[in-house]
Amino acid sequence: MSNKADAFKVDISGIKRALIIRHRAIGDIILVTPFIRALKKAIPGAEVDMVIEPMGIEVLQGNPYLNRAIILERNRLKKAPLFVRIKDTFRFYKDLMDRKYTIVFDLWGNLRTALMCFLTGAKYRVGFNFRGRKYFYNTVVEPDVPPKYNVFYHMDLLKAIGIKDDGGKTDFYVGDEDLKFADDFYGKIGRLPKDTVIGLNGAGSWITKRWPEYKFALLADSIVRSLKNIKVVIIWGPGEKAMAEKIYSQMKEDKKDVFLAPDTNLKQLGAIMLGMHVFVSNDGAPNHMAAALDVPSLTVFGPTNYRSWVPAGNSRHMEVHSSLKCAPCDAMECPTDIECMNGIDPGLVFDRMTELLNDTK
């Protein structure tokens, strides 16, 4: 592992206000929460803020280690008139500069975020040595090369300035109203105390990351056929209900104990997941939610590397991955009909799922 950094000495005791930049993707924001926690514990008297897009607000609600979410309305501004884009962009950057951050961490590392980091005028600007972006920082960290849980890639920026990590456990908080929402749902589907609840998630942000719906249906058939006292809950998010319905409709076994989750926000979905005994998912935000909520999970991997996206050495979070030589490739398109996902046998997934269920009872 390389933690080499070109930097001048950072006086941690002098940090009054810190900013973290990692604005996009729900799953990625969840994976930043150990970074937020470790930073806040190292500078408890300082304010810790984070730049995020609106879709990430719910992820951080209730997080006791974050003082403020700074909203970057990138999608809204794309559609706004030119005058509005210029005015609101200027105001966004002025607000960042007015906050007078002592230190800024750029966890995203593209040109926009590197420039954002520089324009804050912070005394310390910490980022990875990615091509020309390194010139916007004054503490430059060499990125690690071998695959490792993504949480710890972020932590290398903290280690470079002498802050220890606080472990890889991610954080996601739900409230009492969310828990009541989940209880009401489970009451409506007739869950009993003796029931085992199994969650399924067939969605994925890339088509190449989606284990086919018919294979999820075959898995659900095996669950209904082989296990007693079960409830199967198929979750879905915005734009994904048709996917969930397709899994349900392609099942051959009796579906009296199989249900679609209701329409939820992220917190309500998290509360429903807390009621599950095991959660089977493609690689995406929900499997990161499961890890944060400590819900036993099994993730199906094709083009993405499980070593980067599953907590290493945690027996409550297992994976199934392709043995093809071309996987993982991290490609969003595939010339071979996504063989890495299509070739994963539902029987193997069922066996790993039951192993996980038995180990976590």
For residue 83, give the CATH number of its domain.
3.40.50.2000
- As a whole number of angstroms, the distance between CA 230 and CA 182 comes to 17
Whether 169 is in a domain gets the answer no
Query: Binning pLDDT at 50, 70 and 90, where does residue 221 land?
Result: very high
Residues 124-134: tens digit of each pLDDT = 999 999 888 88
Residues 109 and 187 in one domain: no
Residues 291 and 185 in one domain: yes
Domain membership of residue 108 as a residue range: 5-159
Residues 56 and 108 in one domain: yes
Whether 341 is in a domain gets the answer yes
- As a whole number of angstroms, the distance between CA 78 and CA 94 comes to 19
CB contact at 8 A, 42 and 159 = no
Q: What is the mean pLDDT of residues 192-201?
A: 98
Residues 301-329: tens digit of each pLDDT = 999 999 999 998 899 999 999 989 899 99
pTM (2 decimals)?
Answer: 0.93
Query: Binning pLDDT at 50, 70 and 90, where does residue 78 land?
Result: confident
Residues 230-248: tens digit of each pLDDT = 999 999 999 999 999 999 9
| DSSP-derived pairing of the beta strands 17-21 and 47-52 | parallel
Q: What is the mean pLDDT of residues 337-343?
A: 92
Residues 31 and 138 in one domain: yes
- Cβ partners under 8 Å of residue 61, min gap 6: 173, 267
Residues 337 and 209 in one domain: yes
- Cβ partners under 8 Å of residue 114, min gap 6: 106, 127, 130, 133, 136, 137
3-class secondary structure, 127: strand
Q: What is the mean pLDDT of residues 168-183?
A: 98
Residues 197 and 133 in one domain: no
